Amino acid sequence: MTRIRPVTGPADPAVLEAAAILRGGGLVAFPTETVYGLGADGLNSEAVARIYAAKGRPATNPVILHVDGPDAARALVATWPEVAAVLAARFWPGPLTLVLPASEAVPSIVRAGGPSVALRCPAHPVALALIRAAGRPLAAPSANRSQHLSPTLAAHVASSLGDAVDLILDGGPTEAGLESTILDLSGPRPRILRPGPIAPADLVAVVGPVELWEGAVAAGEIQAAPGMAERHYAPRARLELVVPGAGLSRPQGRSAYVGLGSLPALPEGVRGVLLPLDAEVVGARLYALLHDLDDAGCEWILMERPPEDEAWLAVRDRLRRASAKETP
């Protein structure tokens, strides 16, 4: 039976217990300001391999190393350019991941065999306390089975990973609800590999022009960062995106319809869910809602397409990948 320990703050004794498990090569799920992470000692290849096994994660998908600040990050990279220092000073602790050329200290499994490492300093006080108590960077992708919904509650972790986790720290619901923005600094110009809570405009205001990558990495190819596969963040139910107000003529199995800002008339037997036309609110609630619909036995979820403006970029990215067809 998976152990779940409520954690009230950074001084909670559960943090020290979790740190001891991590130093011993174990796995601990913990809250961040984005989603729950599945943590292991990021410098212990065998411990990181346990993450991959628990999640069923492809070896081509690297993991983010979580650190407690720029000093720890500099020890893990071959170069720490001025642009990285400026971004870390502005956005760390916070939901921004920086991709930089890795130092020899970073195990190959963390990098998925690639030349770069993804680094972030989380803003959640429990996450920071855990990193400091463990005394090493923590490899921590989202605490769920690969390609499935990210967890925003400890219960989501337990349901997805079960006994594969040695301890789950329950810090309540996460705040942002979507994974961090990933910015690649290893090339000639900063490039967003995964949109998230830090918007492109926020980055441009600090470092000037940035590129936006909106493609998909083919199965079997090494990813530069997490979240670049065509299918990801998917519920068990079939998720289909529709134009706003499209409605549903008749239910197909146990169906749900998610409206943004308004809800059309729906046939009897279809569960209607109304979300506000607010990108930040929808981002914070999206995974929790999809978890709830899965748990209710929904087989088919129709969700209205979000607006095309920049505020909805991260939500559109997650929904695009979550609704991609499953490959055999």
Per-residue pLDDT tens digits for 10-43: 999 999 999 999 999 999 999 999 999 999 999 9
Per DSSP, the three-state class of 211 is strand
Note the pLDDT tens digit of each residue in 169-187.
Answer: 999 999 999 999 999 999 9
What is residue 153's predicted lDDT score, i.e. its pLDDT? 98
Say which residue the tokens 């999809």 belong to.
290
Going by C-beta distance under 8 Å and a sequence separation of 6 or more, which residues neighbour residue 160? 143, 144, 145, 148, 149, 151
Question: What's the pTM value of the predicted model, to 2 decimals?
Answer: 0.96
The edge-to-edge listing of strands for the beta sheet with 300-304 is 238-242, 300-304, 255-260, 271-275
Question: Which domains does the chain carry?
Answer: 4-212 (3.90.870.10), 238-322 (no CATH)
- How would residue 1 be classed by pLDDT, with cut points 50, 70 and 90? low
Note the pLDDT tens digit of each residue in 94-116.
Answer: 999 999 999 999 999 999 999 99
What is residue 327's predicted lDDT score, i.e. its pLDDT? 56
